């Protein structure tokens, strides 16, 4: 009896100590530099949005916030890096729609690209677009599709990588329009856009933020955009729905996430700082210039968005059979 009581007392002390250490840790957070990992190359929209956020988030946390790019495998490498990092709030992922898609491509992972993360809050949403090099003759989406059908597979499209939103937008067009645009995956949007502008590839599906500057300079022509309504940044560009391509109402969202085991108090502090950063006029202006729409940073909104995406995309992802070889 005495032995059992002693064991129970030790367990109770362990729990109390763990709770005390966790509380003290949270009270001290953040006491060092916070890293936001961007799972795509520098220069793309995810990178630009993250760097715009980092300045305001650092001010809200009263701590240095740096951005690091860990690109590859359609955001899988950067996501894995964060998921396996210490769950202390100092390594944060700029997650997004791609994290929902990845499990459909990689079936034997030792981690789950979305379920092993804890959402901190949504940041921004951008429409995805289908664009062509301005030197091509295609002024409308149906002209592009008609040309491809005349010589199936003769036209290629670039994307940020397999199972990224940019990839799946073009695949949805193929699926519904009966075209056979050939996929050429890149290691991010920035190098893909460079080849599109250089005339090395005629078509690309990309987010609006990474395309808008080159449309404005006349190097790229946008033929269609995702969303239920047209973006105020490009009001003259029709939505896919207007052109008869259904299922592309959602855009590319981005949001901060941390490893699943991160203490709730730390997540709460990060969320409060994110909300403060998102409320600044400076960040709102930067997002607007990127064609991005600020999103509600509430903790519950992140989980709600993931749930909605799974419902909207799971069936189509199964139809496309995107599993990696």
- Write the CATH number of the domain with boundaries 128-243: 3.40.190.10
61-78 average pLDDT score? 94
The pLDDT value recorded for residue 256 is: 98
| pTM exceeds 0.75, yes or no | yes
Q: Sheet harboring 65-69: ordered strands across?
A: 65-69, 34-38, 91-96, 252-259, 117-126, 293-294
The pLDDT value recorded for residue 7 is: 52
Q: Where in the chain are the domains?
A: 27-125+252-320, 128-243
Contacts of 257 (CB under 8 A, 6+ apart): 82, 92, 93, 95, 99, 117, 118, 119, 120, 302
Give the model confidence (pLDDT) of 228-252 as tens digits: 899 988 999 999 999 999 888 878 8
Confidence of residue 200 (pLDDT cuts 50, 70, 90): very high
Residue listed under structure tokens 């379920």: 115
The domains spanning 27-125+252-320 and 128-243 adopt the same CATH topology: yes
SS3 content of the chain, % helix, strand, coil (to 5): 45, 20, 35
- pLDDT for residue 11 is more than 60: no
Pairing mode, strands 65-69 and 203-207? unpaired
> Domain 27-125+252-320, what fold?
D-Maltodextrin-Binding Protein; domain 2 (3.40.190)
168-187 average pLDDT score? 92
The pLDDT value recorded for residue 26 is: 65
Handedness of CA 25, 27, 28, 34 (dihedral sign): positive
């Amino acid at each position: 009896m005495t032995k059992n009581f002693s064991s129970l007392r030790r367990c109770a002390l362990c729990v109390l100590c763990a709770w005390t250490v966790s509380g003290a840790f949270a009270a001290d957070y953040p006491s060092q530099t916070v890293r936001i990992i961007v799972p795509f190359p520098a220069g793309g929209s995810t990178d630009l949005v993250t760097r715009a956020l980092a300045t305001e988030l650092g001010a809200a946390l009263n701590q240095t916030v740096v951005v690091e790019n860990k690109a590859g495998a359609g955001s899988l490498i950067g996501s894995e890096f964060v998921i396996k990092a210490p769950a202390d709030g100092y390594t944060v992922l700029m997650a997004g729609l791609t994290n929902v898609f990845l499990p459909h491509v990689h079936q034997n992972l030792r981690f789950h690209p979305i379920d092993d993360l804890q959402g901190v809050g949504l940041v921004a949403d951008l429409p995805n677009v289908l664009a062509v090099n301005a030197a091509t003759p295609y002024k409308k989406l149906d002209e592009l599709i008609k040309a491809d059908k005349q010589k199936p597979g003769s036209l290629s499209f670039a994307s940020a990588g397999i199972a990224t939103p940019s990839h799946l937008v073009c695949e949805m067009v193929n699926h519904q329009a009966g075209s056979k645009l050939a996929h050429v995956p890149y290691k991010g949007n920035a190098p893909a856009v460079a080849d599109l502008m250089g005339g090395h590839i005629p078509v690309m599906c990309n987010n609006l933020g990474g395309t808008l500057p080159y449309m404005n300079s006349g190097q790229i022509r946008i033929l269609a955009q995702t969303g239920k309504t047209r973006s105020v940044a490009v009001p003259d560009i029709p939505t896919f729905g207007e052109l008869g391509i259904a299922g592309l109402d959602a855009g590319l969202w981005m949001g901060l996430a941390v490893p699943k085991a991160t203490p709730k108090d730390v997540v709460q502090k990060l969320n409060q700082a994110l909300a403060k950063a998102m409320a600044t006029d400076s960040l709102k202006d930067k997002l607007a210039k990127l064609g991005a729409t600020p999103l509600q940073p509430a903790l519950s909104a992140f989980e709600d968005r993931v749930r909605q995406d799974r419902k909207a995309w799971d069936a189509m992802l199964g139809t496309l059979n995107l599993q990696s070889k």
